[in-house]
């Protein structure tokens, strides 16, 4: 009788562990109709996922209005503190090189500066919250300097461009996840004149 009790407790324990494990491996996958406008209906389904889903690159067209994975609300990618029509340029984690998917943005910024010969700007380098303050200040400076060099290589007069690093001190998104971090790793282009 006692053996049967222990066997049934062990079987029940294993069943509970299995249920916990299987629910932990399950993740909601969001499908968005790319052809529909903002505010379109979102279809969710349960699917087994072995690795976390990657977010679309910050500032990319596909990420402009994306539903949160664990909610029915949606968020908007914030476009930095750049002076319109210029756009911020986003960076990979711990990198200061201009990403291939961001080259079009910086080329548009260069064209704006070429068309507006009197415009002067400050390129502001920003980082996410990870890393020390000192490291992030240096990384933000490298990002700002690389963005300036890119603009100069595209024919913009370097005398019209100053750089500054804010490191992690001026986050755009105050969250503590990959979405927030990806929005905070950027160079802003702020017109001063």
What ranges do the domains of the chain cover? 2-53, 89-191
Q: What pLDDT, in 10s, does the model give residues 102-132?
A: 999 999 999 999 999 999 999 999 999 999 9
Question: Is the Cα torsion angle 148, 149, 154, 156 positive or negative in sign?
Answer: positive
Question: pLDDT band for position 83 (50/70/90)?
Answer: confident
Instruction: Give the residue among 168, 193, 192 at the shortest CA–CA distance from 181.
Output: 168
pTM of the prediction? Answer: 0.61
- CATH second-level architecture of 89-191? 2-Layer Sandwich (3.30)
């Amino acid at each position: 009788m006692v053996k049967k009790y222990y066997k049934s407790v062990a079987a029940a324990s294993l069943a509970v562990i299995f249920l916990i494990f299987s629910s932990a491996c399950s993740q909601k996958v969001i499908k968005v109709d790319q052809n529909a406008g903002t505010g379109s209906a979102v279809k969710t389904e349960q699917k087994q996922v072995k690795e976390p889903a990657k977010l679309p690159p910050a500032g990319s067209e596909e990420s402009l209005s994306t539903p949160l994975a664990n909610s029915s609300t949606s968020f908007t990618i914030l476009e930095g503190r750049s002076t319109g029509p210029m756009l911020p340029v986003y960076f990979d984690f711990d990198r200061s090189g201009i990403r291939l998917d961001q080259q079009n943005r910086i080329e548009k910024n260069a064209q704006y500066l070429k068309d507006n010969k009197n415009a002067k700007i400050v390129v502001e380098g920003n980082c996410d919250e990870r890393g020390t303050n000192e490291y992030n200040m240096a990384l933000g400076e490298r990002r700002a300097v690389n963005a300036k060099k890119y603009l100069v290589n595209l024919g913009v007069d370097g005398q019209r461009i100053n750089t500054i690093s804010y490191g992690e001190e001026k986050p755009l998104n105050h969250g503590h996840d990959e979405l927030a971090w990806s929005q905070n790793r950027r160079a802003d282009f702020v017109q001063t004149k």
